[in-house]
Amino acid sequence: MLALKNMNQKIAFIFLISLLMISCSSEKNTIKRATISMGSTVEIQVRGVNEVAANKAINAAFAEVNRLDTLFSTYLTGNPMWMINNTDADEIMVSQEMFYMLKKCSELWNMSEGSFDPAIGKLIDAVGFEKGEPALPSHKEIKEALGKVGWKHIKLREPNVLIKPKKIKINFNAIVPGYAADQIANLLSNYGIKEFLVNVGGEIFARGKNWSIGIQHPRKQNKLLNVINVNGYGVATSGDYERYFKKDGKRYAHIFNPVTGYPANECEAVTIIAKDALTADALSTGIFVLGPKNGIELIEKLFNVEGIIVDTTGTIHQSSGFRKFISTSNIK
């Protein structure tokens, strides 16, 4: 949902988180800490351990987020992501972790019927979001960029070889925050913590029975669409209200349709619940591109995936199993 940025990028929207944590009766027993990484707020809340144990685990978690930011950021030169996108070689040997991410991208590209496509770096460059100067390119510029995008051009060969044309630029911005949330969750579990909530720029993973998460209305800043309870699930939102630009009174989101080359324009927000935050993160982007009708149809086909979509008329579309996550408690 949020692009990875180094700490010198000063962009206000990164502090607006689309999923708002709601207080519950256990809040006084909760240890909370936050930091800034991946260009956004990373917040960790834990329960059931003393402060010393909590801080030890959280320190390790924050170090892990910084490691992932360095590994996958498209804002750094000389890191593994930069090497992938700037080498002249058609066959690139990558690390085991990088190959895992590439395989997940292939899986999710197929799962989303091509609507989640991380090989659209040239489109992102053409619009200029990562330079902080977004503008709608000409039809000619978009057509030229489309000739240099598409996961269909990517091939993977076990155990660790990426095969891609030089012209293709990969961008993991729509998957790394979710992956980071999952990695932190695994780390906290390894430290013996059984109740926690991890929030990486709005991509969330929670374990424990009493975590309530408010889903923000995409047009009304102080209003919630719903409050949900999740235990052992990831939650992610993609919306047009955090990163966008306007031209001739029309709002253009930072999420691109990999087929047309233009910003996706059928949704205001999509929230996905899945068994891991990585999947939720990628699918929230893909389903934002698909639109409400096709998006709900896709969700209904997938196991352990639910979602809620707000289209551009403000109409709310909800998957059949989403209701089981809605909190029945009163929010004060």
Question: What is the pLDDT, as a whole number, of residue 248?
Answer: 72
3-class SS string, the chain: CCCCCCCCCCCHHHHCCCEEEECCCCHHHCEEEEEEECCEEEEEEEECCCHHHHHHHHHHHHHHHHHHHHHHCCCCCCCHHHHHHHCCCCEEECCHHHHHHHHHHHHHHHHCCCCCCCCCHHHHHHHCHHHCCCCCCCHHHHHHHHCCCCHHHCEEECCCEEECCCCCCCCCCCCHHHHHHHHHHHHHHHCCCCEEEEEECCEEEEECCCCEEEEECCCCCCCEEEEEECCCEEEEEEECCCCEEEECCEEEECCECCCCCCECCCEEEEEEEECCHHHHHHHHHHHHHHCHHHHHHHHHHCCCCEEEEEECCCCEEECCCHHHHECCCCCC
What is the per-residue pLDDT across 18-71, written as a single tens digit (0 to 9) for each?
A: 455 554 545 668 999 999 999 899 999 999 999 999 999 999 999 999 999 999
User: Up-side HSE of residue 35: CA atoms within 13 Å toward CB?
Assistant: 16
Tell me the whole-structure pTM to 2 decimals. 0.90
Q: Cα dist. 78→3, 99, 328 in Å? A: 18, 18, 50
Both tokens of residue 187?
């780390």
Question: What is the pLDDT, as a whole number, of residue 6?
Answer: 35
Q: Which domains does the chain have, with CATH numbers?
A: 12-72+175-325 (3.10.520.10), 89-163 (1.10.3980.10)
At 329, is the pLDDT very low, low, confident or very high (cuts 50, 70, 90)?
low
The sheet that has 91-93: what strands, in order across it?
Answer: 91-93, 161-163, 155-157
What is the per-residue pLDDT across 280-327, written as a single tens digit (0 to 9) for each?
A: 999 999 999 999 999 999 999 999 999 999 999 999 999 999 999 999
The sheet that has 224-229: what strands, in order across it?
Answer: 19-22, 212-216, 224-229
Question: What is the pLDDT, as a whole number, of residue 93?
Answer: 98
Percent over 70 (pLDDT), the chain: 89
Question: What is the pLDDT, as a whole number, of residue 54?
Answer: 98
Classify residue 16 by burial, with Cβ atoms within 10 Å: 0-12, 13-18, 19+. middle
